Structure 1
C-alpha cells in the first residue's frame, strides 16, 4: 500500500459525521480483523489522547469472543489498560475479570535503576566511589541505543512464546516509541555493534558494565551472549510482524489536523517497515443535538462539528482503500468492563447515537 502525502483542504466539505459511506469505500468496522483467523499480532496505535486504549481493549474483548485465548499488552509507559478495565495489571499476564480467556499485562520499558545494580558488579576497589560509579554506569547503560526497548521486547516475546496465546493485541505507546518497538531487530544489531565497539576501547572496565544489562533471567552469561541467543527468535517474530497474514496495525485518530498529520506519518512509516495497515478508527466524533429545523442547538458544538466534518472528509478521500470506522464522542467515561464492552460495538461499524 503506497501512502500519499497529506495536504489539508482549505474549505470544509459537506460530509456529515457518523453517516453512510459511498459504494466505492471498503466496509466500515474491524470485522475484517476479526474474521482473519490467521492473525496473531494486532497493533493499535496513534497520537496520544485519541483513545487507543479504549479501542485496543474493545478489540481484545471482541477477539475473546472468537478466539481460544487473547493477550492484551500495554507497551505505553502511561499504562491505561488498568484504568480502562478498572483492574490492576502487572508485567505478568492476568485474567481480565468477567472473561475466561482474556488476559492483560503492562510492561515497564525502563532499565535497572542504579540502586538495583549489585555491588559486586563494580569490583573490589570501588568502595569509595560505588555510589558515583553506579550512577555513571546506569546512565551509560541507558544511553546504549535500543536498550530499554530491547528489554521490553525480550520480556514480552519470552512470555508470549511460553504461554502460546492465539492472538496478541498491543496497546502501543505514541508513534515514535511504537515505531522503535517494531524496528527492534535493527535496534538489537545496532546496540550489539555499539557494545562490541566500546568493549574494544575500554576493555576490562566495560566488562564490569555488562552484568547490569542482564535480562533478569538469572543467568550469569553476558548481555551480549543473551542478545545473540535471542536473535533467531527475534528474527522469526520480525518476519511474522511483516507478514500480512499474521500481523496488522490499526490506526486510531481524531478528526483534527494534528491527529490526521500524525496518522499519515504513521501509515507511511509502517509502509516503509512492510507492516500491514488497512484500518483506521476515527474516534471522538460529535453527534450534536439538532432542533426541529435540523440546526445544531449548541454554537460551540456546531463549530466543532464543521471542523470534524472537514477532516473526516479528508480522511475518507486520503484513505479510500482503508476500512474507516467512525466512533462517537460519548457523554461518559469509558471505564470498567461493561462500558468497554458496550463501546466495542462501534468497532463493528455500528454508529448508534
Structure 2
C-alpha cells in the first residue's frame, strides 16, 4: 500500500466527524485512558457546541486530571464555556435506585426483583438509565472515559444482555400472561389483573425502547466510535488486540489506536544507538548506565510499536504520544498535550 493511502496518524478524523455522538476511550489499566479522554474532550470543544466527559471507571480520575472537583452531575470545566465532566459508577447508581424504591411501590419492588434475578442485569439497567440521562442533557458529543478492558466490554455488552432478558420476559408473558397478571394484581392489592400486568410490562417496554435505541446508536459508525489506548509493551498490545476483536463482535466501530508513553517518537533505537556509540565513551559511568537502560527500553518499545503498525497500520489511525518528564495535569498542560493527538510528532523529521 502506498504511504499516501495509509490512515493519518492522528485523531483528527474524530474531530472532523461532526456526526459522532458517542466516543468511548478504553484499554488496559494504567495506559493513560483518562489523559487521552480529557485531551480528546479539549480538542472536541474547539469545534463542538457542548461536549461532555463521563467517567464510568469506579476509580475516577477526571477530577485529578483537571485539578478540580467533579461530581455525579455535569460540572463545567474551568477555562471552557462548552466542556463539562461527570463521574458516575453504574453499580452504585443501581444500588441507589433500589434503595430509593418505596416499600409500598409494588411495581418498583417487582421491577427490582426482576433486575436481581438475572446476573449482570442490575448494572445493565443502571447503564440504560445513565444513557437515558445523558441523552436528556442535550450535549453534542459525549466522551466516555471507561474502566479497564474487562469492565468496558461488560458495559458495551449491556444492550445485548438486556435485549436477551426482555426477550425472555416477553416469552413468559405470552405463555403465562394470565398468571403474571393475577400475581401482579394480588401483590398490588388490586382486582384488575390486566391493568396490573400492563403497568409492569409497560415499564419494561419503556426500558427496552431505550436499550434498542442505544444499541442501534452503538452499532452506527456515524454516531459511535471507540478509541483503543495502549502502551508499547507486550501485555498492553495483547489486550488491545483482544479489545479490537471483541468490539468487532459487538459491531462497534474502532479505527483509532493511541500508543502512550513512547520514548522519543521522532527517533528509532538505531539512531540513538549510533549517537551513543559515537559519544558514549566520553560520558561518566553513571550516564553510560542510564543510556544503556534507556536504549534497551527504546528497542523493546520499537519492537512492539512495529507490531502495532503491522497489525493495524493499514486500517487504523495509530497515534504515538510521547513520554514526558512531567505529569499532564491541569487545563493548560492538557491543552498543550492534546495538540499532539491531532498534530502528532513527525516521525520523518
TM-score of the superposed pair, with normalisation by structure 1: 0.76
Per the TM alignment, residue 292 of structure 1 is displaced from its structure 2 partner at its CA by: 8.3
DSSP 3-state at the match of 1:300: helix
Residue 254 of structure 2 corresponds to residue 254 of structure 1:
no
Match in the other structure for 2:326: 332
Of residues 240, 248, 264, the one that matches 2:217 is: 240
Residue 327 of structure 2 corresponds to residue 341 of structure 1:
no
Per the TM alignment, residue 240 of structure 1 is displaced from its structure 2 partner at its CA by: 1.6
Paired with 1:333 and 1:271, the residues of 2 have a C-alpha distance of: 34
DSSP 3-state at the match of 1:252: strand
Match in the other structure for 1:37: 18
Distance verdict in 2 for CA 1:294–1:103, change over 3 Å: farther
Paired with 2:89 and 2:122, the residues of 1 have a C-alpha distance of: 13
Per the TM alignment, residue 71 of structure 1 is displaced from its structure 2 partner at its CA by: 0.7
Match in the other structure for 1:215: none
Of residues 82, 95, 99, the one that matches 1:116 is: 99
Paired with 1:196 and 1:34, the residues of 2 have a C-alpha distance of: 42
Match in the other structure for 1:12: none
Distance verdict in 2 for CA 1:142–1:78, change over 3 Å: farther
Of residues 298, 308, 311, the one that matches 2:291 is: 298
DSSP 3-state at the match of 1:103: strand
Per the TM alignment, residue 25 of structure 1 is displaced from its structure 2 partner at its CA by: 2.9
Per the TM alignment, residue 118 of structure 1 is displaced from its structure 2 partner at its CA by: 6.2
Q: How many residues align?
A: 308
Per the TM alignment, residue 343 of structure 1 is displaced from its structure 2 partner at its CA by: 1.2
Paired with 2:164 and 2:105, the residues of 1 have a C-alpha distance of: 26
Per the TM alignment, residue 92 of structure 1 is displaced from its structure 2 partner at its CA by: 1.3
**Deviation string, structure 1 residues 105-150 (Cα, Å, up to 9, x no partner):** 1111113279936683699xxxxxxxxxxxxx99x93863321132
Per the TM alignment, residue 244 of structure 1 is displaced from its structure 2 partner at its CA by: 1.2
Paired with 1:346 and 1:85, the residues of 2 have a C-alpha distance of: 18
**Deviation string, structure 1 residues 194-225 (Cα, Å, up to 9, x no partner):** 7789998xx99x98xx99xxxxxxxxx97764
Residue 78 of structure 2 corresponds to residue 78 of structure 1:
no
Matches within 5 A, 1:1-353: 22-23=3-4, 25-110=6-91, 111-112=94-95, 116=99, 120=103, 141=116, 144-155=119-130, 157-192=131-166, 225-287=202-264, 293=278, 298-320=291-313, 321-351=315-345
Match in the other structure for 1:10: none
Larger radius of gyration: 2
- Please identify which structure carries the higher helix content: 2
- Asked which structure has the greater RCO (Cα within 8 Å, sep 6+), the reply is 1
8 Å Cα contact 1:144-1:194 kept in structure 2: no
**Deviation string, structure 1 residues 43-95 (Cα, Å, up to 9, x no partner):** 11111110000000000000001101101111111111111111121221111
Aligned CA RMSD, in angstroms, stands at 3.5
Per the TM alignment, residue 322 of structure 1 is displaced from its structure 2 partner at its CA by: 0.8
> Any unmatched runs of 5+ in structure 1?
1-20, 124-136, 212-220
Per the TM alignment, residue 294 of structure 1 is displaced from its structure 2 partner at its CA by: 6.8
8 Å Cα contact 1:141-1:147 kept in structure 2: yes
8 Å Cα contact 1:40-1:246 kept in structure 2: yes
Paired with 2:303 and 2:68, the residues of 1 have a C-alpha distance of: 38
